[in-house]
Structure 1
């Protein structure tokens, strides 16, 4: 069957679309609304052609495309913008039209290397939004706490006391909002029995708490993608890579900066909790430190083990038991 490759550059208000049909390029610009997107893809669906549709992940701005594309049998791919950028080689200048073309060319050359996008469940979508809102609230609360800490140096001034009082009220409100968001996340999880059971499983792992579990759910789309622990560990940025070239370059293996820093940060906190508790991970950590290993390097190894353990529990549909023989 004939194939057409579609690259979409997404912005808040518009979508720039490039179609590549046997080397011939055509361009379209539509508004980023469900009505406009549905009208455009309805016209494409009427053709007896196999479509490969690619876009970058831009967060909320992808929503209208997701809502429409789940109704069609197109092969859809959501690609990392850094992957596209590094694949085009030397390039000068950019605009929305050129970006759409580059995405279309990228998916034409590499579609066989990527897993097709699948729509996430309503519960996972809701958890993703709620967790994002919680993260913003926590960041705002932390900023206010830092302001109060710095203002206490000048607490003798009347205006400073008022500012601290105002900040304290906002901190209380934000804390209340955070608790409400967490309750909403719990309600969404209870709506999906399988997801609820899987979260109960991974929370039995030392160090894995509610935030760690929810973050893993969001990043794996409810444990439907990145189910290979090695790929998830690489995505998270906890796998060290060697840097070697001839005899002039030879460094110790280091983790890559191209990683999901949010999940990496969450797993760092989980690893720090795990090594403070009596379990096999703590024994592993203490033994490696005693051997002279760098503490941060060993913590990174613990993060890697947490990923492998949690994904093993999901795969085997079992609960963690504290009797592992660590190598």
Structure 2
């Protein structure tokens, strides 16, 4: 049976689609709505060897995810940066060309891609609520920055503007609090998520925000299953950079990382080294040996990631002075 590869370029309101069948390509443009997406994919429901690929564009993917759960297609969600770096030298772009490139990329590299799996209902709710919370936090930070601008000019209306600004901040803080309560309620409603959250919070430095972020980014530790995978994703693993005998630098972390996760991990590491635990002892010992503080701090971030996976895999809370039973036997 012949294979059909469908590449989708996603935007807020529309989907540009390239359908590749043998060496023929057809192009479509539909609205990014559930009804239109369902209507389009019904034409392929009787073709089991249909492959659907899209870039990860965050919330703009959600309608596609919801519809594709009801079909038996093989679905791939690729990192836009992965696609961009794999294309080599290219000239020009538009949505139709992007859809074609996604289809061609999938046809050539299908074996190296990981199939997409739909999230459980609780995980969907958690992602939506956490995304909305992040938007509110960014908006609050923006309003706080604006307060400084009101003091730069003496126009006579700075007091009223500042008062409006403070009222908006209070309202946003109220919304953030409500969203955080809803996030906790979703986690408590799921026995699996609740257990994992309790295990995560037992690790030094891991607070509620990092706990939520880890659950969201790893898909409840079902999509990212190894500590080094998450450490690379968060940008805390140093890599070599050398070529021949003339180019050789010290190992350093990659620029390609999830910046939001990396920043929260940094705060977690700063919190951990202020508390009485083995991570603080490790930090002080290495600094006393003359190691660079940022290097040691990055190692602490890496250790937090590995401790997180240790408690999840062993289903045991973190123990400060844990001794492996194999050592005693």
Q: TM-score, normalised by structure 2?
A: 0.93
The farther-off stretch of 202-211 and 161-170 is 161-170
What does residue range 179-190 of structure 1 map to in structure 2 within 5 Å? 179-190=177-188
Match of residue 2 from structure 2: 2
Number of the residue aligned with 1:317: 315
Give the secondary structure class of the aligned counterpart of 2:116. Answer: coil
Mapping for residues 38-49 of structure 1, pairs under 5 Å: 38-47=38-47, 49=48
Equivalenced residue count is: 323
CA deviation digits over 1:231-258, x for unaligned, max 9? 1111111111111011221111111111
Moved more, 227-236 or 119-128: 119-128
**8 Å Cα contact 1:280/1:324 also seen in 2:** no
Look up the match of 2:272: 274
2:230 maps to which residue?
232
Deviations 1:281-319 (A, max 9, x none): 111111111111111111111111111111121111111
After TM superposition, give the deviation of residue 146 of structure 1 in Å: 2.8
After TM superposition, give the deviation of residue 176 of structure 1 in Å. Answer: 1.2
Pair 1:223-2:221 in alignment: yes
Give the superposition deviation at 1:28: 2.0
Moved more, 135-144 or 230-239: 135-144
Structure 2 residues without counterparts, runs of 5 or longer: 324-329
C-alpha distance in 1, partners of 2:195/2:271?
Answer: 23
Shift of 1:22: 2.4
User: 1:1-327 residue pairs with structure 2 within 5 A?
Assistant: 1-47=1-47, 49-152=48-151, 158-324=156-322
Distance in 2 (CA, whole Å) between partners of 1:227 and 1:204 is 19
TM-aligned CA deviation for residue 136 of structure 1: 2.0
Q: Deviations over 1:122-144 (max 9, x none)?
A: 22222212222222222222232
What is the deviation of 1:147? 2.9
Match of 2:326 in 1: none
Deviation of 1:198 (Å): 0.3
- Which stretches of structure 1, 4 residues or longer, exceed 6 Å deviation after superposition? none
Deviates more, 1:103-112 or 1:90-99: 103-112
Decide whether aligned partners of structure 1 residues 54 and 163 sit closer, same or farther in structure 2, where only a CA change above 3 A counts. Answer: same
Confirm or deny: 8 A CA contact 1:240 1:255 kept in the other structure. yes
Structure 1: gaps of 5 or more residues:
none
Deviation at 1:153, TM superposition (A): 6.5
Indicate the SS of the match to 2:15. strand
Partner SS, residue 7 of structure 1 = strand
Query: Normalising by the residue count of structure 1, what TM-score does the alignment of the two structures yield?
Result: 0.94
SS of equivalent to 1:323: coil
Task: Please give the alpha-carbon distance, in whole angstroms, between the structure 1 residues aligned to 2:163 and 2:59.
Answer: 35
User: 1:216-274, CA deviations, whole angstroms, 9 ceiling, x for partnerless residues?
Assistant: 11101122111111111111111111110112211111111111101111111111000
Per-residue CA deviation, residues 169-219 of structure 1 (Å, 9 max, x unaligned), is 222111111111110111111111110110010000001000000001110
Q: Distance in 2 between matches of 1:206 and 1:153?
A: 42
